[in-house]
């Protein structure tokens, strides 16, 4: 009787989960093996692993993957370092500490579309960034129009927008460290850097590794920022894998090919996530 009652309560969730998650997942896997377009659905044909092979031989795919890796490698270390520094800073007994905490965190809850539009205007030829450079006596830059500057400009915006979220995670980790450890270290003559190295950092390793996993998964799927600010340009200099598959699916209507690209990205994400989780478990065993 209890089992029937539990199943009855779970049925609505299971029905919704199956309809909107499991079924689309199964159909997308099937679609990756088909040459299917919504413009000519009757001409769908089985291609097997043809889409996967085509993507792996497509220079534009490798360019998008290179941009994605550059974005991941360039933002994650900086975001993590700044988040830890801000978390340590806002724990100090300063006036308006709560206001600073809220101020750093607010960008992470604002719509990324809104943030991207604001920064797009800041990067405009007569926007705030070039006005600041002019005040410093530096010539204006073509932030989003220069292939060498466009992706770093998007990365800088992403770091600014996301660092507050990871700062809050670090704050939660810092609250779990017993104050007695710092008091004992101070009595032994340990300074700030010694306490940071021997107490704070080892205690924050599990949280750091968790942040790395979450941030890696998010950064590999970067889309909104690039879509709004550059559209992948100039000359595909900011095109990421997700933007590339979006273009294949909704501009070229190659749904099967786009699905194959999505599962290639899924495979890359799975490898990186498993490696980081393995590292996380080994670090936890070491700390234990």
262's tokens: 């999505």
pLDDT of residue 288: 56
Determine the pLDDT at residue 2: 67
Contact present, 268 and 220 (Cβ < 8 Å): yes
Q: What's residue 249's pLDDT?
A: 92
Are 185 and 194 contacting, i.e. CB atoms less than 8 angstroms apart?
A: yes
CA distance 37 to 16: 27
pLDDT, tens digit, for every residue of 165-222? 999 999 999 988 888 888 888 887 788 888 888 888 888 988 988 898 899 989 999 9
Instruction: Please check whether residue 65 is in contact with residue 221, taking contact to mean a CB–CB distance below 8 angstroms.
Output: no
Rg (CA), the chain: 24
Q: What is the pLDDT of residues 109-127, one digit of tens each?
A: 899 999 999 999 999 989 9
Burial 229-266 (b: 16+ CB within 10 A, else e): bbebebebbbbbbbbbbbbbbeeeebbbbbbbbbbbbe
The share of the chain scoring above pLDDT 90, in percent, equals 54
Mean pLDDT score, 268-283: 79
Interval 86-109 mean pLDDT? 87
What are 45's strand-pairing partners?
Answer: 35
Q: What is the DSSP string of 212-227?
A: HHHHHHHHHT--HHHH
Question: How many Cα atoms are found within 13 Å in the side-chain-facing hemisphere of 189?
Answer: 0
- pTM metric for this prediction: 0.89
Contact between 159 and 82 (Cβ < 8 Å) = yes
**Token pair for 39:** 């413009």
**What does the pLDDT read at residue 274?**
83
Q: Residue ranges per domain, the chain?
A: 49-287
The conformational region for residue 177 under phi > 0 = left, psi -120 to 50 = alpha, else beta, is beta
CB 38 within 8 A of CB 50: no
Q: How many CB atoms lie within 10 A of CB 171?
A: 18
pLDDT of residue 287: 55
Q: Between these two residues, 205 and 80, which has the higher pLDDT value?
A: 80
pLDDT (0 to 100) of residue 5? 74
- pLDDT reading at 53 higher than 90: yes
pLDDT band at 59 (very low <50, low <70, confident <90, very high): very high
- Report the pLDDT value the prediction gives residue 11, as an integer from 0 to 100: 84
User: Tokens 């101020």 map to which residue?
Assistant: 103
CATH 1.10.3720.10 fits 49-287, yes or no: yes
pLDDT computed for residue 209 by the predictor: 85
Contacts of residue 122, defined as CB under 8 A and 6 or more positions apart, other chains included, come to: 128, 129
């Amino acid at each position: 009787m209890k089992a029937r009652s539990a199943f009855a309560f779970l049925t609505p969730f299971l029905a919704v989960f199956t309809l909107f998650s499991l079924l689309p997942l199964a159909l997308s896997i099937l679609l990756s093996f088909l040459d299917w377009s919504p413009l000519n659905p009757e001409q769908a044909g089985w291609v097997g692993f043809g889409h996967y092979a085509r993507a792996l031989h497509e220079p534009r795919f490798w360019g998008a993957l290179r941009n994605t890796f550059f974005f991941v490698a360039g933002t994650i270390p900086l975001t993590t370092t700044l988040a830890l520094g801000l978390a340590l800073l806002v724990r100090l007994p300063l006036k308006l500490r709560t206001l600073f905490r809220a101020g750093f965190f607010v960008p992470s809850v604002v719509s990324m579309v809104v943030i991207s539009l604001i920064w797009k205007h800041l990067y405009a030829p007569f926007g705030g960034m070039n006005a600041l450079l002019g005040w410093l006596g530096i010539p204006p830059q073509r932030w989003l129009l220069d292939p060498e500057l466009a992706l770093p400009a998007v990365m800088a915006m992403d770091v600014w927008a996301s660092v507050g979220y990871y700062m809050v995670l670090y704050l939660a980790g810092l609250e779990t460290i017993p104050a007695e450890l710092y008091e004992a270290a101070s009595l032994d003559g340990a300074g700030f850097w010694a306490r940071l190295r021997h107490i704070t950092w080892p205690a924050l390793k599990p949280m750091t590794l968790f942040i790395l996993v979450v941030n890696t998964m998010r950064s590999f799927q970067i889309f909104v920022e690039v879509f709004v600010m550059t559209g992948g340009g100039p000359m595909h200099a900011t095109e990421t894998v997700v933007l590339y598959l979006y273009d294949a699916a909704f501009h070229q209507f190659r749904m099967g090919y786009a699905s194959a690209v999505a599962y290639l990205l899924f495979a890359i994400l799975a490898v990186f996530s498993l490696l980081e989780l393995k590292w996380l478990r080994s670090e936890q065993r070491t700390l234990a």
